[in-house]
A and B are shown apart, each in its own frame.
Chain A
Amino acid sequence: METGSPRDAGPGQAGTQGTAAAVEGEPVWIALPPGLLKMRRLLLVVWLGLIALAAGLVPGLLAGPAWAAFALPPLALMAWGWVMVDRNWRSWRYAERADDLLISRGVLWREETVVPYGRMQLVEVTSGPVERHFGLASVQLHTAAAATDATIPGLDPAEAERLRDRLTELGEARSAGL
């Protein structure tokens, strides 16, 4: 009733939900759609481009053309960030297992979070104006512990809603509370 029994995790359930399967212990990881990468890169280019423009133009016009070299660090940062954003985006993945949700992220600082469905208090789907423009939504899980940071950003809104509904459903079935 409140907790899934081990047999739930069997391969028999694998086909029912398409994505939810924990076959032989190895979870089925789902990566994020490319929309998030596009959005983050655009934001990076816009912001750092503005900074580079300001850093180059102001000293360049006031002190002399050589001082326009101040635009270089932001540009270098942009190039580095371009690569980093890609690596970070690749590192994000999640897996719905029979009894818990796995979220793995980070390149240098890796973090893997496991949240049993029974402990979820609230599932939230959020989508800001920029995210909406790119057709993205993020799903956030809340448990009774504030330290639990289980957020999946940059999902397709349909997938986010499917995930929300499924998590809520599973959470109800396995509810355990505090």
Chain B
Amino acid sequence: MTTPEPADATEATGTSAETGTTEPAGAAAETETTEPAGAAAEAETTEPAGTTAEPMTTAAAAGVTKTTGTTDTRTTETTGPTTEPAGTAEHAGTPAEPAGTAGPAGTAAETGTTTVETGTTTVETGTTTVETGTTAAETGTTAVETRSTEPAGTAARAGEGSEAVVEVVERRLHPVTPLRRAWAPVAVLFGWAVHDPDGAQRHLSRLTTTTLLIGLAVIVPAAALYGFCSWWFTHFAVTESELRIRTGLVFRRTAHIRLERIQAIDVTQPLLARVAGVAKLKLDVIGTDKKDELAFLGADEARALRAELLARAAGFAPGTAHEVGEAPSRQLLRVPPGVLAVSLVLSGATWGSLAAALVVPPLLWLATQSVWTLLAVALPLLGAAGASSVGRFVAEYDWTVAESPDGLRIDHGLLDRAHETVPPGRVQSVRIVEPLLWRRRGWVRVELDVSGSANSLLIPVAPRELAEAVVARVLPGVTVPQHAALSPSPRRARWCVPLWWRGYGLAVTDTVFVARSGLLCRTLSLVPHAKVQSVRMTQGPWERARGVADVSVDTGADQTVRARLRDAAEARDLLAAQAERSRTGRRDARPDRWMA
């Protein structure tokens, strides 16, 4: 992306104001005030074309209108009597609405699912010819067919270097990318050799030098060509409103990812990638099952791109988004390796899997005397034991949680470094887990659910007070209730769930629904009222005999939090009250664009 300067966006809308063309909406009148002198001069040059192109130049759809949301013009936006298009009514009243509000009202700025007319301006610097055309753009979920919608002045300035780059700048991945799959054929051969050593030996002895050479002469260039092609035909570009990934030689695939749909962006560096100095960018998008990823980018480039995407998703205009850079972060929490090691030693899962790996194979050997059965069972068990002890230590090593305006940053990993970002307001529910052996030390683990994201761990281990402070950052305005503050299940519930009924508890504050479960490993689940999708009350025959019932709330991350064994009358009231709260809770919720 060429770096358009902040003021330029103003220009674009200001153009028509200067030229005195009949402005379709009140946008220009407002932007005029902050218009720099230089901008006006430049606008003059584009004037003739602009007049003919009017009103399409200004009738830009949501994507272009966002450009007015630069830092310079923001003051104007807040003061101006903005005409709200229908599509943005969802955010009505929230002062954080960055785009669309100043948009041309009647013409184009409907951001909903309706078809939008877009003014597509393609500019070539030097000649200053403005080509205008209209394309019907669907501003739906992902598929958008808008072509580059750069404001005229932006291009004029941005292309001050050599050639005019007005089109959305397409970039390629890092040149080491072709090598990422280079090991695959080797691995297949190796696996075959291990699987059948005798056969491999025989085949190898039969191979003559000639066949080997021919094989190499065919396979190596073919693999190289494949790698090169897959790299050469993969492009990505960032526009005002979306990230576009174009890939594939035979089967083409073009993914247009709406920036405001991005839930989280992770930068991961597997070990080899760390050696090569590259990183992988993974995107979590609402409504997609698989993660879209850009692999590989240069490590610095990946970080810069993440910062840019997050800034844009947060509502910064393209000009500033690039300059904002990585938002400053403030470290909230860092887990020392010693504490992590102790916590893993003290957790039941480690010992359970170790015990299973040590006890089951010998028993099986005694029972069957078969090597293959033994291997088939012992290897997965050993793998699980390793994953739950050493694997977790390696993955959760140096776990750092930092706060920045674009969300919570989570960095971790000993060999593979991962940098995750959890934008605020996207967290559906939070779980605070307290295993039995950690309780004396006051440690907890915090897990969270973000819709469309696989990441679930927020803090592997931390003292409760610290963890609660971090939770308060993730769920603004939420205080985690103490265990004493939770109302327990009635005593008669012991007939339904013996012993464990003591673990159940419930608290409802004005912001969250909190349910506790578990006796040895206590889990406290928090769901903000604004994230509740539906409420259910269930009651089995045994529960009805005792006059108790369960209340479940469902969240968008496919998580259900159950408050078990409540008094039946209380549950009925809770059902009605919770439905009301979840309905009204959205009012105070943060907008989709959180930084503007």
Contacts and interface: CB of A to CB of B under 8 A. Distances in A.
Nearest to B428: A178
B539 A110 contact: yes
Interface of B: 89-90, 92, 286, 428, 451, 531, 533-541, 544, 552, 554-560, 575-576, 578-580, 582-584, 586-587
A147 B583 contact: no
A145 B534 contact: yes
B533 A145 contact: yes
A112 B531 contact: no
Given A100-B579, A113-B534, A147-B560, A3 B555 contact: no
16 contacts: A2-B587, A100-B583, A109-B538, A110-B540, A112-B536, A114-B534, A119-B533, A119-B534, A143-B534, A144-B533, A145-B534, A147-B534, A147-B554, A174-B583, A176-B586, A177-B90
Given A144-B533, A150-B534, A112 B575 contact: yes
A114 B558 contact: no
Contacts of B534: 113-116, 119, 143, 145, 147-148, 150
Contacts of A118: 583, 586
A116 B559 CA distance: 18
Label chain A's interface by main secondary structure. Answer: loop
Interface of A: 1-4, 25, 99-100, 108-116, 118-119, 143-148, 150, 174-178
Q: Which of A2, A110, A114, A148 has the most CB of B within 10 A?
A: A114
Contacts of B559: 145, 147
Given A3-B586, A145-B556, A175-B90, A111 B579 contact: no
B286 A114 contact: no
A113 B556 contact: no
B537 A3 contact: no
A68 B92 CA distance: 73
A99 B556 contact: no
Contacts of B90: 1-2, 175-177
A26 B286 CA distance: 37
A145 to B, nearest CB: 4
Given A3-B584, A100-B579, A148 B554 contact: yes
B284 to A, nearest CB: 13
A48 to B, nearest CB: 24
Contact of B556 (A110, A111, A144, A175): A144
A143 B554 contact: yes
Q: Which of B533, B535, B554, B558 has the most CB of A within 10 A?
A: B533
A148 B533 CA distance: 8
Nearest to B554: A145
Given A100-B579, A118-B583, A113 B544 contact: no
The 7 closest A-B pairs by CB, nearest first: A145-B554, A144-B556, A145-B533, A114-B579, A143-B533, A148-B534, A147-B554
Q: Which of A108, A119, A177 has the most CB of B within 10 A?
A: A119
Contacts of B587: 2-3
A109 B538 CA distance: 7
Contacts of A108: 540-541
B564 to A, nearest CB: 14
A110 B544 contact: yes
Given A145-B554, A147-B558, A112 B583 contact: no
B589 to A, nearest CB: 8
A3 B538 CA distance: 26
